[in-house]
Amino acid sequence: MNTQEWTWVIAGGVAVAFVLARRLLVRRAPADVVLEKIKAGAKIVDVRTPGEFAAGAYPGAVNIPLDALPGRLKELPKNRPIVLYCASGMRSASAARILERAGYDQVVNAGGLHHLPA
């Protein structure tokens, strides 16, 4: 193989590794689980920026941006499910880890806004 072919092989390997790592880190809940939690009275939290939230959000969701989450944990109940979402599922996955480490045991990462039930 020449240098250009090796470059493509390496780039392809990096892309595949990125996709696999993202899937392992995000761990988005199945749509039926998200819907079940919402019907059970889950608190729905949008962890996107205030600007993203203002541009459109899930009905009934509250906006607690990911970077503000550690300082606003007292706003979230520990006695009911919490459904988290963002734009793609990456920030909501990070938010889920923050909440789980803080002792929240009913946390669901719904993924991106477009993954939530209509």
Our answer to whether residue 86 is catalytic in this structure is yes
> Is residue 98 within 8 Å of 70, Cβ to Cβ?
yes
Count of alpha carbons within 13 angstroms of residue 67, beta-carbon side = 2
**Which is catalytic among the residues 38, 42, 61, 86?**
86
Region class of 89: left (phi > 0), else alpha (psi between -120 and 50), else beta: left
How far is C-alpha 70 from the chain's CA centre?
A: 15
The catalytic site residues sit at 86
